[in-house]
Structure formats: C-alpha cells, structure tokens
Structure 1
Amino acid sequence: MADKKSLSERDICTKYITPAITGAGWDLHSQIREEVSFTKGRIIVRGKLHTRGEQKRADYILYYKSNIPLAVIEAKENGHSVGAGMQQALNYAETLSVPFVFSSNGDAFLMHDRTGLADKIEQELALGDFPSPAQLWRRYCQWKGLETLEARHTVEMPYYDDGTGRAPRYYQANAINNTVEAVAKAQQRILLVMATGTGKTYTAFQIIWRLWKSGTKKRILFLADRNILVDQTKNNDFKPFGAAMTKISKRQIDKSYEIYLSLYQAVTGSEEERNIYKQFSPDFFDLIVIDECHRGSAAEDSAWRDILAYFSSATHVGLTATPKETKNVSSIYYFGDPVYSYTLKQGIEDGFLAPYKVVRIDIDKDVQGWRPSKGQTDKTGQLIEDRVYNQIDMDRTLVLEKRTELVARKITEFLVATDPYAKTIVFCDDIDHAERMRQALVNLNPERVKESRKYIMRITGDELEGKAELDNFINPEERYPVIATTSKLMTTGVDAQTCKLVVLDQHIKSMTEFKQIIGRGTRINEDYDKFWFTIMDFKKATELFADKDFDGEPVMIYVPEGGESPVPPDDEPEIIPNESNSQPPPFEKGGIEGGFSKRMKYILGDVTVYVVAERVQYYGPEGKLITESLKDYTRQTVRKDYSSLDEFLRRWSKAERKAAILQELQEHGLLLEPLADEVGKDFDAFDLICHVAFDQPPLTRRERADQVKKRNYFAKYGEQARKVLETLLEKYADTGIENIEDIKILTLDPFKNMGTASELVSAFGGKPAYMAALYELEENLYA
C-alpha cells in the first residue's frame, strides 16, 4: 500500500476525506460538491488584449437540501498539518456566507465555527467524528434565528430547476437565501443591493419562486418603471410562472392570477389610472418586489407614496444597483440596511463583470476657459455675456461646434483603430447636444452610413424613430445601430451586453446616475468577445471613481423630519446649477427626455479647439484606476511571484514544462502579447520577463537558437533524432518555447513529413528518452 505521505491531494480526498463525510450521512450526489469553482477569475486588460486571473475553487462545499451551503472543506496533502488549509477555507467561507469551515490532511479535521455560538471556535475532530447534516442544520437554524417549523419550511424550499444545469452564482445564492430567510423571520422591508449586470431579475425570480412554492407568499406584485423591463422579465426570467402570471395593463383587473407584473406608471398615472390598483384590496398582495427601487418614478406621479403606502401590509423587497442616499432621499430609511450587497468591485474581482479602461481627454477651452471679445455675438446674433466660460458651460450655455466635431473625431478614431462595429453609447447633456453629436458622427463616418443609415442613431425619449431602435441596439445579433447618442433615456434599464465603448460628454455630478451609466458597459458576453469596455471621458466625469462613495457600502444619510411618513421619497434628478447663469438648466423627468425650461445657449462655429492632454488608465487590482506603463505593470506582476532574478531562474531551470510557469504568471495578470508588441516580438517569453522585471539584456529567439547550434551537442544523437531536434530548434526560433513542449507538434508540418509521431519518438528510444532530450534542449537554450 502506498505511503500516505506520498499521496496526492486528490488521493487524500478520495481515500480519506470523502469516506469520512459520506460516513457521517452526507449524500454524495445531492449534498456534496467537489472542486467547486465559484468565481470566474478577474479579467485583466492591457492594451487590446485580456487574460483571466485565478478562479476561487473550494475542494468541497456541503449543502443542506441542495440549495443552502453549510460547510467548506479545504484538503491538503498528508505532509501538511491538519489545519494547513484553514485560512484559505475561511476566505472561501466568508465569500460564500458559510458558517462551518473545515481543513483536513487525511488524518483528522480541524473545524472552525463562524456562528459565534460554539464553546470553542476551533477544535480538532477525528475522521469518524465529522458532524452529520442534521447536526449542522440544527446549528445553522439557531445561528440564523429560524426557530419555527414554518420558517424552516420556507427556507428549505429549493430553487427552480429548468433541467439545463443553470444554478444561481454564489452571490445570487447569498442574495436569495438572505432574502428568503428575512421573509421567513417576518421582516417586512428588505433591501438587496446588486451591481448592474449581476442578474437582479433572475435573483428576484428565484426569491419569488421559493416564497410562492413554499406557500409563504401567495399573491405577488413585481414593479418596474420601464415597459421594456416588464416585458423582458415576463418573457425571460419569469417565464416558468406560466399561466399563474399576468401583466397589469388594462383598466379592468383580473384577480384570478397569483403573479402580477406592472409598470409604476400603469397603476399611478392619471387620476383615472390611479383607480386601477385600488380595484385590489389593500391586503390583496402579500409580497411586492420593486425593481430599481432607488428611483421610483416621476416625482409628480408620487408612485412610491401611492402604491407602496396603499399596499403597506405586504412585504416589500427593493432591488437596486445604486441605493439612493442623500440628505433628502433614502432607500435605506425605508427598506433598512441591505440584507446583501454585491458591488461592481466584487463583480469585477470575481470575473462576473467586465472591467474598464478609461481614456481621459482634456480639451483646451474646457480646461483653460474661453472669453468672448467685447460685443461679440453668436451665430444667431445673440450678444454673448462677457465672462469666462469653461467646462461646466460646454454644451449647456456655450456650444462650440468645433468642440463637438473634435469629440466626434476622437470617438471615430478610436472605433477605426479597434472595432468600427463596437456598440457605443455617447452620453450628451441634452437632446440638442445628442442631435448635434449625431450629425458630427454621421459626417465623419460617410462609408459606414452608406452601408446603413442606422449606423448612428439618436436614441432619446422625444423621438419615436430613435426609440424604436433601442431593442436593435441592445440585441447582440443586430449589427445596427452601432453608435447611439443619448442623454437620459439610456442611463438605466438598457441591457447592452455588447456595449464596448461608453463616451461621457455629459456633466455628471450624481453618483447614482454615474453608477448607472457605467453599468451600461459592465456586462460580459463571451460569445461576442465582450470581456471589457472602454470609457472615453471628455468632461472629467470619471473623477467620481476616486470618490470614496463610488463602490463603498451604502450608508444612510437621510434623516427624516419629525412626523414624516416612512416611505421612500421620489428620486428627482440632481440639478447642477450654472454658477454664472441665473437660469436653471433643463432636466428630464423620470428618465424620459423633455425639458421643463429652455436654457440660454450661445452657439459659435468659428472657435478653434484642440486636445491638451490624453491618458489611458486601467482598472487596478484594488478597484482603483491606475495610470502606468505596461512595463511597470509587468515588473510588479512578476515580482509578486518572484522577488529576485535568482528565484525566477531557479524555478525556470527546474520546471519540466516552461509553459506551466508562463500559464501561472498569466493567471496572475501577465500579458505577454502586448508586452511583446511594445518590447519586441522576436524575444522569447523568458527574455521579455527577465528584461522587463529584472533589467537583464534580452536575446532574440534566433540568437538563442544559434548559440545552441554552435555547441553542436546534437552530434551524440542518431540521424533522425538529430533532425527532429534541429527542427524543434527552428520551431522555437519562429514561435517560442510553449509550442515545442507539446508532443503533438510531432504530428504537424514539417515533422509529419519525417515520419509518424511514434516513429519520431522511437528514434530517441521511446517517450521518456524523447522528453529527456527535449529537456536537455531547453537547458541549452537557457544556459
């Protein structure tokens, strides 16, 4: 029998850990999952290329009733101590919201109890003493305060299973479980904060499904504030509700359904429409789920006050990516602290959301300002007020046509250099600005517009032609429109999975609006090569990334006045007053364009503008924007793994496969292709790393190959083996080390003309001898 200390980690699992768990009563098929990758690995972008970092992978996750994770187990080889995997397991347990954590080397278990209810936080258990599902479930329910049978029945209800194997991601499962548990404990106001693109609607569906199927909630209302969102929800994520579901759209209400979907506006519009929801009794619904609950609907409609106050006896669950927290408005005051938050930073770190790079472009008149000459008039003959106009005035009180053309030209240049058909949203200050931007882009893209007049479209709330193209813009299978100019209409509720460029030529001071706009690009669509996106910023909006509130936990700021009703106030657009102009800027109510007042605008066509600064910033590992060269980034990335050149050389020389080291570095963020583009494509990966990370003079692959030839060590091999090695050396000089390490290369040209792969390997005396010869070749290459 093999010595236990010589067994691999997987063997330890198979021979010792799994039998101990199943022996304690855990079902191998429904309760035990092994080698679970629960993140995707952060997408790291440099230049035009990207790679994925490491995934988080648990050796075991144990479930109760298949949907509630109770325990994480981290296994180690027997040469390690029993608790060697504990810190890693605790990291996973925090992420997965799991209370019981185990580490094992096959001799015993070290158990860590995160509930705070145990006499000892950590204790060692013999293999035969692993706790049963019933024991851990009992302790879990005590920890969560699930004291009644009814509460446990609610929580135990499984997810909807469509038979395709789709299951909630770990953070969705956390959100669903925390919400269902809150409802089971009779909490009436519940807030879920989940970043745009993380699947809030699917999460809402699973919450409603489990509460409905358990009988805990029988009649349910799902509220959204865009018709397209209601229709998408009904036809996609909510489809399994089938005949039990209806959309409230007619004035006569059918009360025979159980799941109702509605627009705020459909039940709180005109006085006549307001009577629609009053056809239901106040206690008709026992659960209301409010999508985008930071916003409500237009202020004068008082949708929040009307509908939620009317159905006040129901449980209210609010979903938002951006809880509204100001001195006057609060989501948290109404709903309470979030039962779960999943931020943009977490989503990017886990690899479920697309990271971004920022191209900041500063224009001279924005930065340095512009002042009219005495008595100067604009194109329409208006006398221009004598003062200095700067960035806050651009496109609001001062329109410089050449500035609009410059912005359009920079957008066009970017698309031509990357992908002319990359879906692009250009956010402008108002409808007039969006139309001028559309015209400027049309004039700069005549060939594309000839292909289709819909290459560029203005999509704003005032114009049916543009609005009609919104579905086509967000459909990955539709090529046109490619570029959409807009102001407010596309800030929210636009599931633009393939949007690769977000252009900010809009004054944005509202953190809520900024987060919503950034969210237009954060979805990943691997089928359409959408892994990351670019933000092109002309008005310093991305300075909001540096705000401590950008991706922090929501904190309640709003303090109600005495006697105020505890319902969430409507979210009115934040108005940024023009300090030098007494006229307020127009704003667009409820996200649908249409100004309340007309601002004085001076239009000039002859003022020259130019770019004074342009820089590229990347999303860094700490969630901050970093401005650094690719070389600096590579040096930092490599030196995290190898603190010295000697350490790297030792590892490189000992490695049987050099490609494994390169793969490991790439998982940690190293991007060899763009580095080769910058330093030199003829250098070996080894030389690129040694040169950039450790300041060593590089050799080209050809120079290394020629050095090996001069040593003439091939002479000791027979003719065919020598020919194979010489050809491998040529292949290395052409393509690099990774390709020659794969034995499959012997089946390709020019090797297949020299004989079959087995014949070529036989020339060395068999596969072990061939691999030894290849290893010796590599030793000579890197001598």
Structure 2
Amino acid sequence: MKHFSEIDICMKYITPAIQKAGWDIKKQVRREVTFTDGRINVRGNLYTRGKRKRADYILYHISGHPIAIIEAKDANHSIGSGMQQALEYARMLDIPFVFSSNGHGFLFHDMSAQDGKMERELTMNDFPSPENLWARYRKVKGIKSPEEEKIVKQEYHKDESGKEPRYYQSVAINRTVEAVAKGQNRILLVMATGTGKTYTAFQIAWRLHKAGAVKRILFLADRNILTDQTKSGDFKPFGQDIMTKITGRKIDKAYQVYFGIYQGLTSPEEAKKAFKQFSPDFFDCIIIDECHRGSASEASAWREILNYFEGAIHIGLTATPKETKDVSNMAYFGEPVYTYSLKQGIDDGFLAPYKVIRLALNIDDGYRPEVGKIDQYGNEIEDRVYNNKDFDRTLVIDERTQTVANKITEFLQQTDPFSKTIVFCIDTEHAERMRQALVNANVELVKKHPNYVVRITGNDEVGKHEIERFIDVEERLPVIATTSKLLTTGVDTKMVKLIVLEANIGSMTEFKQIVGRGTRIREQDNKVFFTIMDFRKATNLFADEDFDGDPVQIWEPKPEEPIIPPEETNGGEDEEENDQGDTGNGGGSGGIPPLGPPGGEPGEPTKYYIKGVPVNVSNERVQYLDSDGKLITESLTDYSRKNIKERYSDLSTFISRWTSEEKKEVIIQELLEEGVFLDELKKEVGKEMDTFDLILHVAFDQPPLTRQERANNVRKRNYFGKYSEQAQNVIKALLDKYENEGILSIEDMEILKVQPFNAMGSLPQLVKSFGGKNQYLEALKELETELYKTA
C-alpha cells in the first residue's frame, strides 16, 4: 500500500468507504471539483493564468448544497496531511465538514462538535452517512422545523446548457435562502461588480418561489436598462406569462414577478404614487438592485416605497454598500450575509485584473493666469492658483483637453484602436468637449466610422440610444464613450478594456463602481484585463484601506432630519452630478459657457475658457497588481526575480530541479503560472541567453552564458565520440538546434522528423542508431547534463 498513488488511494479505499456509508456516488459525490479559474497575471500586454483550486471530493446532500469536503493524499503522507488545504477550501465553499485521508482512515473536522473535540480520527468503516451529516448540517445552520428544511432543500434552476452557479454564488444563494427560512426579512449581499449579482438574485428568487416561501416578487432598480436586462436575461426562466414590468399608471395585479424603477413607482404628488395601487402586503419579497444608491438614504423619497412594503422580505444587492454618517445600508439591512470582494474575484480568476497608467501634466500642481487675463468670452479670470480640482470645473484650458485626448488616442493606437473605452469627465459639458477633442484626435477613424466616439450622458437622448450598442459584445462601434455619471454603475460593459479618469473622484463608492466597469472577463474575445488611465490622481484611492475592505457601519441616527448627500438628491436614469448645468453646446471650441452658477451673481461665468497654455505630460508611471492585490511600480526584471525566488528559494534548489526534470517545459509552465513571462524577459535582458541562464542571471545574479557558449563548451569536450557516426551527427544537429532555438526545441522526439534530421534518415532509423528509444532518451538526457555542466 505504501507505493499506492493518490489516485490508487481514492479508487481502492476512499470511494468504497463513502459508498459503503450510503452515499450515492453518481448523485451525491463529485470528484476533482475545480471551483476557481486561476488568477490572471498580467505584464505588458501578456497574461497567463495561475493554478485553479480543485477539491478531491465534494459531497452533497441535495443538488447544489455541498456539506462535506475530502482531501486525499497518497499512503506516504499522514492521515491528516491534507487537512490544512481542505480547511482553506471549506472556508471558501462554506462547507462545515472536512475530511482528510491517506487510505488508512479519516481525520474528521466537525463544525457541529460541542464536546470540545472538533477533530478526531475515524476508521475507513466509520465514515458518516448522508443522513448523519445532514442532521449535523441542520444543527450548524440552525435549521429546526420541517418548514425551514423544505425551503433550504429547494434545488436550483438548471438550464439546458448545464450552467451552474459559481462557488461564491452558491454560498450567497444558500446563505440567503437559509436566512429567509429562519425568518430573517432584511438581507444584504455584497458582491463585486462583474460577479453575477442578478444571476444570484434569480436563483434566490427561483428557490424561494418554488419552495412556496414567497409568491409575488418585485425587482426594484433605478434605471430602465437594469430592469430590462434582468427581465430578458437572468430572470427569463420564470417565463413571460408570470412576469411583467410596471409601466404607466395602470397596473395589472395578475402577475407573480414584477420589475420596476423607483421613478416609475413614486412621485412628489401623492395621487401619482403608483406603488400605492398595491396593498402593503401584496409583495412577499423585494429585491433591491444597486441598493447603495437612492434607497440607502433614510430621507430619500425612494425609501418610502420600501417602508410601504415593510412586511415583505427585502434583499439588497450591491458591490459597494454605502456607509456614511448620514446614509447606511447596514443600518437598514443589517450585516451582509455574504461578501465577495473585487480582490477575491481577481484572485480566483473570475474578474479581470487591472494595470494603472498614472499621468501627470505640467500644470497639475498649479496654473496661475497673469493678472487681468481675459478668457475667450471676455470674462476677467480671478487671480489665483488653479489646480486639478479646478480644471474643467471652474477653469477650462483647451490644450489640456486636447493633450488628454491625444494621450488616450496614442495608447489605443499602440494597443488596439477598437478597444472599448469609457472616459469619465467632470460633468456633461466636459464630456462633450472631450468628445470633440477625441474626434479631432481620430479624424481618419471617425471618417470611416462616424460613431467611433460618442457622448453618453443622462441628458443626451442621442447618446443614451448608443448605450445598447456600446455594451453589446457583438457590436464593434461605438468604441469611445465620454460620460459623467451615467455609466458609473449597473451597466454591464463586458468589453471595456480602457477606463480613463478625467474626473475628480472623492467618493470610494463611486470609485469602486467606476473600476467595476472593466472587471468582466471575455477570454474568448481576448478581454482578460483592463487598463486604468488616470489624469486626476484618483487611483490614490487604491491605497485606501477601505478600497477592498469589509464595509463598516458609521451611520449616526439623529433626532433631526437626516442630511441627504448631494449624490442622493436626484438619482435615476438622468443622474449626472452636474452642478454646473449643461448647455449641450460644447464650449471651449466656440460654444457659449453656461451662465449663472448656483449662488452666483447674474451673468457671472460658471467656467472660464482659455487657450494658448502649453500643456504636456511631465511624468508617466505604469503600475501592476501584485499577488496581495497592491499596486506596485516595478520593472519586469524585478517582478520576475521575486516570483522565481518564491518558487525556488536559492540557487542550488533551482539547479537541482532543472537538472532532475526530464522535460524543462514543465518548469517553464510552472513559472508561467506564477506570472513569469520568460519570452518578454529575454527581450529585456538578452535574446541569445538560454532560459536556464536567464533564470540564473535574473533571480540569482549569476553571470550568464549564451546558448552559443554552452554549445561550444560541449563541442570542445567531444564527449559523444562513443556513439556511432550517425548518432554523433544527430547529437551535433541537436546542439545546433539548441544554439539557435533553445532547450525546448530539442526535448520532443518529433524534432527528428524535420530538417536537418529527416535528411539523415527516418525517425525509427535515427533512434535505432542509438540502440532504441530508451537509449536515445538517455543520450538526450546526457546532452542536457553536458550543456548545464558548468552550473
């Protein structure tokens, strides 16, 4: 038994033990379950995926409800050697029962234990039955009555494509359903943008509806596009005959699943409050999408809808729960039942990582106009220092806008001119000027494609019609969208590869939402990471400890009227934080600047517009995400050195592994999974260097030899004189091949079928000249040993 591999242990001991305990191997047991996609590592324009996490066994009492995990090891390991890894997986999968086995027995980690002994050893004949573990599961989860159990055991919806919830979606669904079963009626789910919140909401709604826990459901959002996408997309399996969208004032109450936006349900006028056509107990469940927005504020008119249906179960969905002194999601919903962060999504490979390009302009730290300077429209400019916070809000410098547009264009031309791009601007007027500048920077493309650049803002009907085409993965155009607020949240922009920050962003909630526009992955369409181009130092927020941390409630209830933050006052489809107004006529290029700012004197300009200021990029810095989710600035060489040394701590460890590994490609693939791009590293350090020497030089500061030098050293030793003449010719040709193309080129025996080898004889003939296949492989191994002898 001590020679048995892990697979042998599973087949001969673990699986029979599970089956003997009463588990249905086909329905209740899954083997080698891969539950992450492997982190995407990016350097330059290259990427590779890390290892996926895989559990040896997951046991289910009912479909989609994992309750136990087993980690198997071969017989040379101890019975509990797989426990640490299994516990990590169990924490991610929210599984309470964990087993480790080497075929001699099981180590059982039991979350239901109350006698102080959480871990104990079991014989191979003592594995718990499904009924035993389910009883323990109910105990851990606090499921008591048959009614609660019925709700919890309701299965997922399964479609014809075989799509199943990802592991974190399953955790979110199960925790929510269990909370409802136990009587909780205010539930908050925090899931990063791009992780499938609406699909998760659908599965929750499906299970609760099918289990009879709820009959009528309202999906509530603040934009038509969000309800339309949900009704025709994730919620489609409910069937059109029981679903309807609330539009107008006449409401049909014969449906079971309703979709509505706040603006369509409420009104300042009491008689026009459509939600009051329903009785307060009409809905059993309300799902609030993007609940950090209007409904987060206690003083918001939108909260009135939730208060009216207070007897219903309220499930809030958000990527960015709002927690200020005046507004709180958690004060209303309670602590999140589950949180899946951006960092977790990137680590698991379900969300696209990002690189950041920070650009500083020569006027960023301050521009002071000369005394008495007049703007383009005859207004005398106030004499003071203007900086990033002022640009495009109170002072418009035409050359600054064009410099930004030129830099965006330059980046797209160097990467892909048709990469979907969102440019976030100060306000809608700024978005229009940026659109004009980008048109002027891309004249030839705009001649061929008139809608290459568009403005998409809440008050621009033409632009709003472009949203559907912009987010459609099949539509190539439009490519660049300039906006203020409309695209910050909710809109599913799967193909966005470039996000440009040309707005001053002080809100962490807004910043997270903007970053979320790029996190979707479309590997089949070559969208695996995205770039953030920052002209406003907004990405300093990445360094804030709250960026990817757990939400903390800081709301302070006051006896007086709660304050409504500015971003909560209007909301909805036309939400544009535009305290400057929007003339829709451009400006800065011949338009008329908007007049009369709030609180200003009549005729006082809201913005000054000037030209003739030299503007250029003074500094550009590229930053990448490291394995801890931190943005770092480092060269490819430094990054590679760190990752190589994480796998091989010292020189002797690496040399030992290199010389003992039959196929060097295995080592190279392992390094790729760590994000070490050897081909790019060769370009930076030296193309003619052997992969072995490249690693020695970069990671361990060893003086490198070129492939030519290594090959010549072998030729000088002439060790191959012991072989037949034909075999010697093959070895010499292999040396030439190595010198020109590297070690991987000679490892595959198929090389003997191409030039110059095929001119020496057929593959069988060449192998026979060594005495046979095994002897040829031994000779190849010896050649590799000779090549790396000096190490």
Structure 1 residues 149 and 660: CA distance shift in structure 2, 3 A: same
1:124 equivalent to 2:121? Answer yes
> CA separation in 1, counterparts of 2:312 and 2:55?
39
Structure 1 residues 180 and 273: CA distance shift in structure 2, 3 A: farther
Residue deviations 1:560-588, cap 9 Å, x none?
124989xxx9764189xxxxxxxxxxx98
> In the alignment, which residue of structure 2 is the partner of 1:206?
203
Measure how far apart 1:638 and its partner are: 1.1
Partner-residue secondary structure (3-state), 1:171: helix
Structure 2 counterpart of 1:112, from 89, 109, 112:
109
Q: Which amino acid aligns with 1:687?
A: D
> In the alignment, which residue of structure 2 is the partner of 1:334?
332
Measure how far apart 1:179 and its partner are: 0.3
1:296 equivalent to 2:294? Answer yes
> CA separation in 1, counterparts of 2:62 and 2:21?
16
Structure 1 residues 249 and 779: CA distance shift in structure 2, 3 A: same
1:324–1:512 CA contact under 8 A, matched in 2 = yes
Residue deviations 1:156-178, cap 9 Å, x none?
11111113221111100000000
Structure 2 counterpart of 1:163, from 154, 160, 173:
160
Structure 1 residues 116 and 539: CA distance shift in structure 2, 3 A: farther
- Stretch deviating more after TM superposition (736-745 or 318-327): 736-745
1:733 equivalent to 2:733? Answer no
Q: Which amino acid aligns with 2:198?
A: T
1:297–1:571 CA contact under 8 A, matched in 2 = no
Residue deviations 1:692-721, cap 9 Å, x none?
100112222233233333333344333444
1:42–1:348 CA contact under 8 A, matched in 2 = yes
Q: Which amino acid aligns with 1:538?
A: F
Q: Which amino acid aligns with 1:322?
A: T
Q: Which amino acid aligns with 1:343?
A: S
1:524 equivalent to 2:521? Answer yes
Query: What are the within-5 Å matches in structure 2 for residues 55-66 of structure 1?
Result: 55-66=52-63
Structure 1 residues 719 and 244: CA distance shift in structure 2, 3 A: farther
> In the alignment, which residue of structure 1 is the partner of 2:644?
638
Structure 1 residues 277 and 685: CA distance shift in structure 2, 3 A: same
Measure how far apart 1:372 and its partner are: 1.6
Q: Which amino acid aligns with 1:346?
A: Q
2:294–2:571 CA contact under 8 A, matched in 1 = no
Partner-residue secondary structure (3-state), 1:5: coil
Query: What are the within-5 Å matches in structure 2 for residues 595-610 of structure 1?
Result: 595=578, 597-598=580-581, 599=597, 600-610=606-616
Partner-residue secondary structure (3-state), 2:11: helix
Structure 1 counterpart of 2:567, from 573, 578, 593:
573
Structure 1 residues 463 and 300: CA distance shift in structure 2, 3 A: farther
Measure how far apart 1:290 and its partner are: 0.7
Q: Which amino acid aligns with 1:63?
A: Y
Query: What are the within-5 Å matches in structure 2 for residues 662-701 of structure 1?
Result: 662-701=668-707
Measure how far apart 1:497 and its partner are: 1.1
Structure 1 counterpart of 2:15, from 15, 18, 36:
18
- Stretch deviating more after TM superposition (708-717 or 319-328): 708-717
Structure 1 counterpart of 2:494, from 488, 494, 497:
497
- Stretch deviating more after TM superposition (731-740 or 627-636): 731-740
> CA separation in 2, counterparts of 1:405 and 1:563?
48
Measure how far apart 1:591 and its partner are: 5.2
Partner-residue secondary structure (3-state), 2:125: helix
Measure how far apart 1:278 and its partner are: 1.8
Structure 1 counterpart of 2:141, from 139, 144, 166:
144
> CA separation in 2, counterparts of 1:717 and 1:374?
90
Partner-residue secondary structure (3-state), 1:319: strand
- Stretch deviating more after TM superposition (146-155 or 624-633): 624-633
Measure how far apart 1:767 and its partner are: 2.6
> In the alignment, which residue of structure 2 is the partner of 1:484?
481
Structure 1 residues 271 and 588: CA distance shift in structure 2, 3 A: closer
Structure 1 residues 379 and 270: CA distance shift in structure 2, 3 A: same
Residue deviations 1:347-392, cap 9 Å, x none?
011111111111111112112x111211111111111111111111
> CA separation in 1, counterparts of 2:684 and 2:8?
45
> CA separation in 2, counterparts of 1:275 and 1:753?
87
2:294–2:303 CA contact under 8 A, matched in 1 = no
Structure 1 residues 570 and 132: CA distance shift in structure 2, 3 A: farther
Structure 2 counterpart of 1:48, from 45, 49, 53:
45
> In the alignment, which residue of structure 2 is the partner of 1:354?
352
Structure 1 residues 153 and 750: CA distance shift in structure 2, 3 A: farther
Residue deviations 1:621-679, cap 9 Å, x none?
11111111111111111111212111111111111111111211221222212212211
2:299–2:561 CA contact under 8 A, matched in 1 = no
1:314 equivalent to 2:312? Answer yes
1:588–1:596 CA contact under 8 A, matched in 2 = no
Measure how far apart 1:235 and its partner are: 1.3
> In the alignment, which residue of structure 1 is the partner of 2:322?
324
> In the alignment, which residue of structure 1 is the partner of 2:602?
none
2:294–2:568 CA contact under 8 A, matched in 1 = no
Q: Provide structure 2 residue ranges, at least 5 long, that are not aligned to the other structure.
A: 582-596, 598-605
> In the alignment, which residue of structure 2 is the partner of 1:629?
635
1:38–1:56 CA contact under 8 A, matched in 2 = yes
1:457 equivalent to 2:454? Answer yes
- Stretch deviating more after TM superposition (743-752 or 699-708): 743-752
1:197–1:523 CA contact under 8 A, matched in 2 = yes
> In the alignment, which residue of structure 1 is the partner of 2:415?
418
Query: What are the within-5 Å matches in structure 2 for residues 527-546 of structure 1?
Result: 527-546=524-543
> In the alignment, which residue of structure 2 is the partner of 1:650?
656
Measure how far apart 1:432 and its partner are: 1.4
Measure how far apart 1:228 and its partner are: 1.3
Partner-residue secondary structure (3-state), 2:389: helix
- Stretch deviating more after TM superposition (718-727 or 254-263): 718-727
Measure how far apart 1:454 and its partner are: 1.2
Q: Which amino acid aligns with 1:37?
A: T
1:298–1:572 CA contact under 8 A, matched in 2 = no
Query: What are the within-5 Å matches in structure 2 for residues 239-278 of structure 1?
Result: 239-242=236-239, 243-269=241-267, 271=269, 274-278=272-276
Structure 1 residues 760 and 284: CA distance shift in structure 2, 3 A: farther
Residue deviations 1:106-163, cap 9 Å, x none?
1011111234535411100000001111111101101111001011111111111113
Measure how far apart 1:597 and its partner are: 4.7
Structure 1 residues 253 and 271: CA distance shift in structure 2, 3 A: same
2:267–2:273 CA contact under 8 A, matched in 1 = no
Query: What are the within-5 Å matches in structure 2 for residues 332-481 of structure 1?
Result: 332-367=330-365, 369-481=366-478
Structure 1 residues 603 and 651: CA distance shift in structure 2, 3 A: same
1:427–1:487 CA contact under 8 A, matched in 2 = yes
> CA separation in 1, counterparts of 2:206 and 2:124?
39
> CA separation in 1, counterparts of 2:282 and 2:290?
23
> CA separation in 1, counterparts of 2:651 and 2:660?
14
> In the alignment, which residue of structure 1 is the partner of 2:227?
230
Measure how far apart 1:596 and its partner are: 5.0
Measure how far apart 1:463 and its partner are: 1.5
> CA separation in 1, counterparts of 2:272 and 2:140?
44
1:219–1:284 CA contact under 8 A, matched in 2 = yes
1:469–1:481 CA contact under 8 A, matched in 2 = yes
Partner-residue secondary structure (3-state), 1:362: strand
Structure 1 residues 64 and 611: CA distance shift in structure 2, 3 A: same
> CA separation in 1, counterparts of 2:243 and 2:168?
27
Structure 2 counterpart of 1:717, from 701, 713, 723:
723
Alignment RMSD: 2.2
Partner-residue secondary structure (3-state), 2:500: strand
Q: Provide structure 1 residue ranges, at least 5 long, that are not aligned to the other structure.
A: 576-586
Measure how far apart 1:755 and its partner are: 5.1
Measure how far apart 1:758 and its partner are: 4.2
2:503–2:536 CA contact under 8 A, matched in 1 = yes
Measure how far apart 1:26 and its partner are: 1.1
Structure 1 residues 270 and 765: CA distance shift in structure 2, 3 A: farther
> In the alignment, which residue of structure 1 is the partner of 2:622?
616
1:357–1:617 CA contact under 8 A, matched in 2 = yes
